[in-house]
Structures are given as C-alpha cells and as structure tokens.
Chain A
Amino acid sequence: MINLRRGKFGLLMVLLLTVSLIALGCGGSEKDEAAENGQAEADVIKIGVYEPLTGTNAAGGQMTVEGIELAKQLYPEVLGKKVELVIVDNKSEKQEAANAVERLIGQENVNLIIGSYGSSLSMSGGPIAQDNGIPVIGCSPTNPAVTLDNDYYFRVCFIDPFQGTVMSNYAVNTLGAKTAAIIQDVQQDYSVGLASYFEKAFVASNGEGSIVEKVNYNTGDKDFSAQLTAVKATNPDVIFAPGNFLECGILVAKARELGITVPILGGDTWEAEEFLNQVKDYQDIYFSTHFTAEEPVTPVSTIFLDEYAKAYPDKPANAFGALGFDTYILALDAIERAGSADPEAIKNALAATEGFEGATGIITLDENGDATKTAVIKKVEGGQFVYETKVDPK
C-alpha cells in the first residue's frame, strides 16, 4: 500500500516536472504568437521592472516600486500608447536578477527596463541588457561600476564618489573639521565606496594624517564598543560612518552613550524610520540624501509629494519612492524624445538627457550614464529629520 502511494507521488513529481518544462517551452511559442500579432502589440509600450521584493533588500525594492506605480497612475500613456509595467521580483539574489532581466527581454519583450535597488543586483542584470540592446535605468544603485563600460545602463541617483565628496566638503567647510575618523562596514560596497571617497576629499583639504582612525565592522554586528573606544581615543572633529540604517542606528546611539559628542556623518541609507527611532534623542547627526519634502527642489517634487500623500496617507514620502518616480518619468520623457519605442532610439535619447526636471532634482546624465544632480543634507533634530542645506554639483 505504502509503495503504491509512493509510486503515485513520484508520478506526481514527474508530472510536475514535465508540466514545468512544457510551460517553459510554451513561453517561446507565446513569443511567436506575439510576433504574429505585432499589430496589436504595437499599441502598448512595455516597461520591465526588476526589483528585490522579497529577501534582504525587500524594503528598499518595495519603496521604489511604490514610486514607479504612483508615476504610472499619473502618466499612463506616452506617444498615444498605453504603458504596461511588468514587475518581476529578483529575490535579492544575483542569479535571480540575471534570470529576471533575461525573462523581461526574452519572454515579455519589453522596450525598456527599470531597476534595481542594490548595485550588485544591477551589475548582474546589466550585461544581459547590453547584449540584447535594451536600455536600463537604475533607480538607486550607487556603485560606480554599475554603469561603467555599459552604454545601455543609466541611473537617476548620484554615485558613491559624489556623496562621499559632498559629506567631506560639508565637514570641512561648514563644520570646520580638521580631523576625522571613519567607521565602515567592510561587507557593503556602498559603505566602502563612500568612505574611500570621503577620505580622498578630506585628505585633499586637510592634508595627510587628517584621517586619524579608520575602523571596520561587518554587516549584522550589534556591538560596536571596541570600534568606538578606539575612535574616541583619537578624539576626531567628526566621525564618518556610512552603512546600513540598522547597524548605524545602534552604532550612533552607542557613540552618544559613550560620551562621543562630535558630529557624526553618514549617507542616504540613514533616511529610514528604524534609524530615526534609535537616534531621536540625539543631535549633530548629518547625512546626505537625494530628496527633501520641506524644500521641493523642482515643481515635479511638489507634484510627487502631493500625489504620494494622497496615495499613501499613512507613510512619509521617502527618497527611494521619489527615485522610482523619477525613473519612470525619465523613461517616458526619453521615449517621447526618441519618438518611438525602439530600444536603440530610447538609449540614444537617454544618453542625451540634459536638465531633466525630476522630483529629486535637475538631472543631467554624463558620459557614463550617471546623474549629476543636487544632493540634500539633512540632520537629526528634535526627534526628526530636518532639512539642513543642499549642495550643487560642480
């Protein structure tokens, strides 16, 4: 009896495998059908979105997708055709990200792709899009290597070198710092990148030896007393500690507990509720970000803020949502300028983007496809994020 049941179950699994294979095979024939019905297809412009909706980076991916969907509700058409969003999850895994992009191109026949949160995910999708000649616009991958050597990858956020330099200039010019200490998360490309460019800019202004201490920690660490004690002993004017909001929240709170009162600086990842909850009793905490609600940089910012408040009344507007929003409207703008949905034409139009007004600022894409735009500096004061100043690119 048991044997019989086992046999049946085995049969079921084999059946499942067969069905899977057939379904995978069917994708191809669907594509052929689509090609035959080319006339009907032409009324729709397909934009693929690959973002981490599950896994470790899910929070960021979801915020971005909210922004993209909001923009789509506002502007559902371009060139008189309907826009269709195809959103796929990349599970915060590199091989899934590669599969997702290949799927968007091979099965869904998209004209353009948006994504992804997380530089390493974008780097695994990039080469596939390049091989197939489909342009991609990244919302928030800040690692310089993403667009390097890839003519088809663009992005609306600024990159790590710019952010690190901005924070260094702010520390030197506004906070009057002569010495600095760096606390970095060696496992995060983001943290290492920011720290490295902060160091370069800071040393350029204050000379060799002005970085008095550089200590490391790893993602997931919860105890930072050793690093902070080492930093405290050198008595720097400022501390630069870019990294995840989770670890940095604990780190900054611990620093204040240990009696370190000097300003602590960070990057755009700090703009998160979880970070604020940890540090809301403290001050002199500064970070750079893409966007501010208090000081709309462009008219589009106002539109975004109003619509976001309407669509998500219980959530404050965030930078990732704004970047998602910008990516979508930039995509539409490029398609309009290209005058067709041809990927090659869209790519050329994107490369020529200059002075585009987005919610996060005025975007000009340089020869690498990176955005040069205004950075915003915010600080923590009275338990809230408060707008401090903005820094224009040179």
Chain B
Amino acid sequence: MDDRLKTKFILNVVLLLAVALLIYWGQDNLNNFQIRILNLAGIFAILGVSLNLVLGFTGMFSLGHAGFMCIGAYTTAILTMSPRSKEIIYFMEPINPVLANIQWPVLPAIILGGIMAAVFGFLIGFPALRLRDDYLAIATLGFSEIIRIVVTNTITITNGALGLKNIPSIKSLWVYWLATILTILIIKRILNSSWGYAFKAIRDNEIAAEAMGINIFKHKLLSFTIGAFFAGLAGALMAHLITSVDPTMFRFLFTFQILLIVVMGGMGSISGSVVAALIVTIGMEVLRIVEQPMNLFGVLSIPGLPGMRMVIFSILLLLVILFYRQGLMGTREFNWDWLINKLSTFKLRKRGEAA
C-alpha cells in the first residue's frame, strides 16, 4: 500500500510539472487570442468548482454566484485603478475621497476581492441558509440581484451604471491557471477533510447527518462562505482580464452559465467542472465557424447565421442530459487508483497470456 501512495505522489508531481510545462509552452507559443480564451476557461473552471462545492457537494441550490463575482470584481477594480484614471472616469459624481488616492498592487487586491465576497457570503448565508432547496435558490438569486442594484446605486463608490475602465490588465496564462490550480487543490483538500465529509453527509441526508452530530448550520455556512470566496476571486480575475466592469455584466443569467458548467460536468465532480469549463469556453469560440458564411463544395452557399453556435450548444447539452443524466463525470473524479488498477489488470492479463 505504501508503494501505491508513493507512486501516486510521484504521479501527482509529474502531472503538476506537466501542466506547468504546458503553461510555459503556451505562454510563448500561443497567440493573444488563444491565451485569452484559455484564461477565460480558467476563470470559468474556478467558478464551476466553487459552485460545485456549494451545489454538488453540500447540496445547497445557490444561485448567488454572479453577485459574489460582482463584489470581487469591483473591490479589485477600485483598489487597483490609478488615481488619475479615477479622476477622469468618475465624471458624473466624484469618487468618495477615501478611495480616491488608493492604489494597491494587483495580488493583494485580488485576494481582498475574494475576502470581501466571503464576508458578504457569510452575511447573506446567515439568514438565507435557514431555507432549503428551491426556496434557497430564490433567496440567493434575490440577494445576488440586490448586490447588483446596490452597486448600481452607490455612485460615489462604484460609478453606478457607467462602470469602471482602465483596470490594470493581466494577460499571463500563469496568473489565471495558477489561481485555478490552487483553487482545485484547496477545494480538494477541504473535501477530503472532516469538513468535506460533513458537507457530503449533509447533501445525502440532512436529518441523518444531524443525528450523527454534525452541526448542519455551521457546515452549510462554511461551504457557502468558501464558495463565495472563490467566486469573488474569479470575479476579480475577470475584472483584470477584461479591464472594465459594469453592473450589467453580473446579471443572474451569468449564474446560469456557471450552473450549465456544473451540471454538464457532473454535480459532485471537480474534474467534471474543469473539463466542462474548458469544453464550454473553447467550444463557444470554435463553433464560431458555423456562424460564418459557408460555401459547401461550391454548390450550396449558406449566409452567416448569428446564434447558430448556441443552437449547436443546446443540442450538445440535450445529448448530455439524455445519455449522461449525471453529467460527464457524474460524481466520479479523475484519480490515479483507477488508472493504476486498469494498468495492473492489463499487466496481469498480459502475464497470464504469456504463461
């Protein structure tokens, strides 16, 4: 057994090195467009994994992710914009003097974005998590809209509906994918701790979990707050990727995009969420081909139809729902045991054949 743990450790290190190498290669060899798409995929992976923690592992149907992203994005935007930019962008009403001259480095600002979102997650979770199922979904959806409307109306802080621009831009694959990998590792660790077991127990049967002595409310709040933290982090990264934010970005429709990733990848599977995030983001760009005017063998010419890629995507999603009711990965994870077992049975069979 020790032997196997050792192999797994080595395999993990090799995998991380391989990913690092891939990022290193990508940074030098991909063009800006491809890097941007991959960065966006990384952000969606963080969002997918964090929503999965709440929805797939703790069984809370929360639709508040867009609101938490909004908090993260605005926090980092306000903290990192240069005082000169602030002066010209807040042209309707001047910015609150307390914030006017603040300029933080990017990294602490992004982390504070996550922390702010977690604080709000905690405050919202406190009353909302007394609800269950659909009621919780409606309550969190409502809170996420409230966050957006407050942001729209606090003009001296957020510049209201006009939005903010000139947020320092980050283009490196490293930043986004390092954040993604860290998120995955941290959430993986949490899920394998006693907290994680409590989360899953609550998901499977709340009453039974309570009877076993699990503090339901505490663990629900914990999961919700951690989910909010990573949503805020992703929102902050998104602000630096796009370099401008405005409240209409974070409408509740955005949450459904994340939900799509979670359902497609499998509720309760981290690797599923990551794979689905990659498929959705990259697929969306690749499928642009079907919207361009096409000429089939010089016989049939089709004019460009905007919206075609969404149709294809809907069909794909239907297929997933029909044939793969639990999403691509279900509740399974990518793991080495499975691979090693496969390999060793293969080896054994081979040996058997030889004998």
Residue A5 lies at the interface, judged by CB distance under 8 Å to chain B: yes
Tell me how far the C-beta of B262 lies from the nearest C-beta in chain A, rounded to whole angstroms.
Answer: 16
Residue A299 lies at the interface, judged by CB distance under 8 Å to chain B: no
Tell me how far the C-beta of B76 lies from the nearest C-beta in chain A, rounded to whole angstroms.
Answer: 16
Distance between Cα atoms of A93 and B256 in the complex (Å):
14
Partner of B306, one of A53, A93, A107, A149: A53
Partner of A17, one of B29, B169, B278, B289: B278
Tell me how far the C-beta of A24 lies from the nearest C-beta in chain B, rounded to whole angstroms.
Answer: 6
User: Once the chains bind, are A187 and B165 in contact (CB under 8 Å)?
Assistant: no
Tell me how far the C-beta of A116 lies from the nearest C-beta in chain B, rounded to whole angstroms.
Answer: 13
Q: Which of A76-107 contact B (CB under 8 A)?
A: 87-89, 93-96, 98-99, 102-103, 105-107
User: Once the chains bind, are A189 and B163 in contact (CB under 8 Å)?
Assistant: yes
User: How does the 8 Å CB contact mask read for A190-215 relative to B, with 1 for contact and 0 for none?
Assistant: 01110010000000000000000000
Residue B282 lies at the interface, judged by CB distance under 8 Å to chain A: yes
Binds A, one of B12-20, B31-39, B132-140, B178-186: B31-39
Distance between Cα atoms of A58 and B310 in the complex (Å):
14
Residue A311 lies at the interface, judged by CB distance under 8 Å to chain B: no
| Count, chain A residues at interface, CB 8 A | 56
Distance between Cα atoms of A172 and B183 in the complex (Å):
59
Tell me how far the C-beta of A222 lies from the nearest C-beta in chain B, rounded to whole angstroms.
Answer: 16
User: How does the 8 Å CB contact mask read for B273-312 relative to A, with 1 for contact and 0 for none?
Assistant: 0010011001111101101000000000000101100100
B149: chain A residues within 8 A (beta carbon):
187, 218
Distance between Cα atoms of A120 and B32 in the complex (Å):
22
Binds B, one of A25-33, A286-294, A375-383: A25-33
Partner of A23, one of B286, B320, B323: B286
Residue A258 lies at the interface, judged by CB distance under 8 Å to chain B: no
Residue B346 lies at the interface, judged by CB distance under 8 Å to chain A: no
Distance between Cα atoms of A170 and B197 in the complex (Å):
68
| Count, chain B residues at interface, CB 8 A | 53
User: B264's closest neighbor in chain A, by CB?
Assistant: A13
Residue A133 lies at the interface, judged by CB distance under 8 Å to chain B: no
Residue A261 lies at the interface, judged by CB distance under 8 Å to chain B: no
Partner of B248, one of A58, A187, A191, A193: A187
User: Once the chains bind, are A145 and B89 in contact (CB under 8 Å)?
Assistant: yes
User: Once the chains bind, are B285 and A120 in contact (CB under 8 Å)?
Assistant: no
User: How does the 8 Å CB contact mask read for B208-219 relative to A, with 1 for contact and 0 for none?
Assistant: 000000000000
User: Once the chains bind, are B238 and A95 in contact (CB under 8 Å)?
Assistant: yes
Tell me how far the C-beta of B77 lies from the nearest C-beta in chain A, rounded to whole angstroms.
Answer: 12
Partner of B162, one of A96, A99, A105, A145: A145
User: Once the chains bind, are A120 and B246 in contact (CB under 8 Å)?
Assistant: yes
User: Once the chains bind, are A103 and B285 in contact (CB under 8 Å)?
Assistant: yes
User: Once the chains bind, are B283 and A145 in contact (CB under 8 Å)?
Assistant: no
Residue A148 lies at the interface, judged by CB distance under 8 Å to chain B: yes
B249: chain A residues within 8 A (beta carbon):
93-94, 120
Distance between Cα atoms of A6 and B34 in the complex (Å):
31
Residue A144 lies at the interface, judged by CB distance under 8 Å to chain B: yes
Tell me how far the C-beta of B242 lies from the nearest C-beta in chain A, rounded to whole angstroms.
Answer: 5
User: A5's closest neighbor in chain B, by CB?
Assistant: B323
Distance between Cα atoms of A187 and B31 in the complex (Å):
36
User: B166's closest neighbor in chain A, by CB?
Assistant: A149
Distance between Cα atoms of A192 and B159 in the complex (Å):
11
Seen from chain B, the residues whose Cβ lies within 8 Å of a Cβ on chain A are: 29-34, 36-37, 40, 85, 88-89, 91-92, 149, 152-153, 160-163, 165-166, 169, 238, 241-244, 246-249, 275, 278-279, 282-286, 288-289, 291, 304, 306-307, 310, 319-320, 323-324, 328
- Of the A-B pairs whose beta carbons lie under 8 Å apart in the complex, a sample of 7, sorted by A's number, is A28-B31, A95-B238, A98-B241, A127-B169, A127-B244, A186-B160, A187-B247
With A89-B307, A127-B244, A148-B89 given, can you name 15 additional A-B contacts, CB distance below 8 Å? A6-B324, A13-B320, A16-B279, A17-B278, A20-B282, A23-B286, A24-B282, A28-B29, A102-B33, A124-B244, A131-B169, A149-B85, A189-B160, A191-B161, A193-B92
